[in-house]
Amino acid sequence: MVFAKEDVDYSLYLVTDSGMLPEGTTLCSQIEAGLQNGVTLVQIREKETDTKLFIEEALEVKKLCTKYNVPLIINDRIDVAMAIKADGVHVGQDDMPIPMVRNLVGPDMIIGWSVGKVSEVEQLAKWGPQLVDYIGIGTLFPTQTKKNAKKIPMGPQGAIEVLNALESNNATWCKTVGIGGLHPDNIQRVLYQCTSTNGKRSLDGISLVSDIMASTDAAGSTKILRALIDDGKFKFGNDLKIGSYITPDVQAIHSVLEQVSHNRPLIQHITNKVHQNFGANVTLALGSSPIMSEIESEVGELSRIPNATLLLNTGSIAPVEMVRAAIHAYNEAQRPIVFDPVGYSATTTRKSLNDSLLSYGQFTCIKGNSGEILGLSGLNNGNMKGVDADTSHNDSNLLAKATRIVAFRFKTIAVCTGEVDYICDGTFGGEFLVSQGTQGASVDSLTVYTVQNGNIPIMGDITASGCSLGSTIASLVGGLSPEGSVFDAIVSAILLYKSAGKNASLVCEGSGSFHVKLIDNLYQLFHENEPSKWSATLQKV
């Protein structure tokens, strides 16, 4: 044993598979390319190789790892690990039980275990620090590499549950890597999103096979991965400012509206049928251009239009592959996505659809009514009834708490709508550092703001009024110039929408004219741009 366990760097953990080597490469050439460019830990995982050849290869790889001062782990084969004096072994739930492995390998060898469930964390915590040194958390995303993968991909939210369980069981010694379907397009998001709710823990690294082993340029692929890990910042939107904790003043709101008037953002709506026409008119009233496109082949092009922004409302969903392509495109173009999980947890179908979309990307803002935000936070103890707001939930402490949890869990700006709107910024400026958590900031430390303007019950008498707040948020966020503040834009959108709603309610003759007056008032307040006259007010909780 050459490595002190505390010195092991888990940040970029390469697991091998010689079944996928591109022509002209070898197991050793791919591993060396990785080691030269930032791989910090190597696992030999060769499922089809006979013992004799396995040992020969392992000895070659050991020489390489020694040369680059990187520990070597052997998958499954405890006998091989002991025979070649590797630095550690990795076993899964169906392999040799951990206490037996420890008995065989002695106290100094690193032992890694595959974990996907809270009960497995409870088990390793009971064993104590002498048994498991690190866990591979997965499978995170679908992978072609692991044949017969039994588990449904857990996504970042599943990994967060495992991290929370490590914290609640005081398994502080146990390091963590995420594994399964990790590639340059998702590793920053995974490292950013996967933090424990107490803020103390994040993943210690990522582990992957195909991105390096199957690469025709393993050196280049490793460099990309290394740079993404070291960069430490998830980029929400080209030069947008994310994570401002200063309450916007009238001047800041005025500036947001000026930027939107100037930039006239394109707002792609993937939204329910009921909302389409109303949402398009609200968007136009706010000097922005709506496009109600659900065409998969054009999402890439649309997302690259300057100021393009996606409003994703899951009320009646477009083909799921199209929606995923849109999420991917807007994340890749670093353009904002406003997510409106309509009826989240009203049915198991809606819950699993929304959960799968949430695991697929990073969202700038998640906006929902009280039932949806309570559902997303896990505080509702059951299902919503239908898709409308559950008005029995007007306990302000509970709603503020749910908004904080959603903001923190999804690293987003969460908005919970109702008679009072709650807003909470859990983005931490997009920053992440392996192993550092949110540097102590916990879910409870997040500030919640409320927007109030008295009760406007007629809002509930027209259809898609909540969905159109989504259009308003998307227009104001999308219209920001570089350096514009996303938080200010979201607050401005809510103040504007509530003020327009109040004005409209005072002059309408019923729900029909309210609908028209709401659009009129949005148009007038937006173009007049005098937020000091707006009736809605912002307060810190």
Ligand X SMILES: Cc1ncc(COP(=O)(O)OP(=O)(O)O)c(N)n1
Active site residues: 467
Amino acid at 11: S
Structure tokens at 276: 């389409």
Beta strands in 168-260 (DSSP E): 175-179, 205-208
Do 450 and 539 touch, CB atoms closer than 8 A? yes
Q: At closest approach, how far in Å is the CB of 10 from ligand X?
A: 9
Q: Candidates 17, 76, 372, 488: give the one binding ligand X (CB under 6 A).
A: 76
Q: Which residues in 20-59 contact ligand X (CB under 6 A)?
A: 43, 45
Q: At closest approach, how far in Å is the CB of 95 from Mg ion?
A: 4
Count of positions (residues) in the chain: 541
Nearer Cβ to Mg ion (92/232): 92
Q: At closest approach, how far in Å is the CB of 90 from Mg ion?
A: 7
DSSP code, position 461: G
Q: Candidates 70, 86, 177, 260: give the one binding ligand X (CB under 6 A).
A: 177
Do 17 and 61 touch, CB atoms closer than 8 A? no
Query: Which element (helix H / strand E) includes 453?
Result: none
520's contact among Mg ion, ligand X, ligand TZP, none, with CB below 5 to 8 A by partner kind, is none
| Beta bridge pairs of residue 91 | 113
92 touching ligand X, by CB under 6 A: yes
90 touching ligand TZP, by CB under 6 A: no
Q: Candidates 49, 176, 195, 207: give the one binding ligand X (CB under 6 A).
A: 207
Token pair 């690293």 is found at: 411
Please count the residues of this chain forming the interface with ligand TZP, following the rule CB under 6 A.
14
C-alpha closest to that of 301 among 325, 337, 329, 281 = 329
124 touching ligand TZP, by CB under 6 A: no
Nearer Cβ to ligand X (59/96): 96
DSSP code, position 152: P
139 touching ligand TZP, by CB under 6 A: yes
Nearer Cβ to ligand X (34/248): 34
Q: At closest approach, how far in Å is the CB of 93 from Mg ion?
A: 8
| C-alpha span between 483 and 90 (Å, rounded) | 46
15 touching ligand X, by CB under 6 A: yes
- Secondary structure (3-state) at 421: strand
Q: Candidates 95, 355, 388, 431: give the one binding Mg ion (CB under 5 A).
A: 95
CA 213 to chain centre: 26
Q: Which stretch binds Mg ion (CB under 5 A): 70-78, 142-150, 389-397, 471-479?
A: 70-78
Q: For 73-140, where are the alpha helices, taking DSSP H only?
A: 78-83, 98-105, 118-127
Q: Candidates 143, 215, 281, 438: give the one binding ligand TZP (CB under 6 A).
A: 143
Structure tokens at 323: 């929606």
Q: At closest approach, how far in Å is the CB of 99 from ligand TZP?
A: 22
Token pair 């309570």 is found at: 374
Amino acid at 349: T
177's contact among Mg ion, ligand X, ligand TZP, none, with CB below 5 to 8 A by partner kind, is ligand X
Q: In whole angstroms, how far apart are CA 219 and each of 38, 213, 224, 430, 507?
A: 9, 10, 9, 27, 67
401's contact among ligand X, Mg ion, ligand TZP, none, with CB below 5 to 8 A by partner kind, is none
Q: Candidates 38, 136, 466, 478: give the one binding ligand X (CB under 6 A).
A: 136
Site string for Mg ion, 25-64 (x = CB under 5 A): ----------------------------------------
- Secondary structure (3-state) at 331: helix
Task: Tell me: cis bond preceding 139? Omega within 30 of 0 counts.
Answer: yes
| C-alpha span between 89 and 274 (Å, rounded) | 56
389 touching ligand TZP, by CB under 6 A: no
Do 66 and 31 touch, CB atoms closer than 8 A? no
Q: Which stretch binds ligand X (CB under 6 A): 87-95, 97-105, 212-220, 240-248?
A: 87-95
212 touching ligand TZP, by CB under 6 A: no
145's contact among ligand TZP, Mg ion, ligand X, none, with CB below 5 to 8 A by partner kind, is ligand TZP
Q: Which residues in 8-47 contact ligand TZP (CB under 6 A)?
A: 15
Query: Which element (helix H / strand E) includes 218?
Result: helix 218-231
Q: At closest approach, how far in Å is the CB of 112 from ligand X?
A: 6
Q: Candidates 32, 76, 161, 390: give the one binding Mg ion (CB under 5 A).
A: 76
Structure tokens at 356: 């799968």
Q: Which residues in 96-125 contact ligand X (CB under 6 A)?
A: 112, 114
Q: How many CB atoms lie within 10 A of CB 91?
A: 23
Query: Which element (helix H / strand E) includes 112?
Result: strand 110-115
Q: Candidates 138, 156, 178, 418: give the one binding ligand TZP (CB under 6 A).
A: 138
Nearer Cβ to ligand TZP (72/240): 72
| C-alpha span between 129 and 11 (Å, rounded) | 21
Binding site for Mg ion (CB under 5 A): 76, 92, 95
Binding site for ligand X (CB under 6 A): 13, 15, 43, 45, 75-76, 90-92, 95, 112, 114, 136, 138, 146, 177, 179, 207
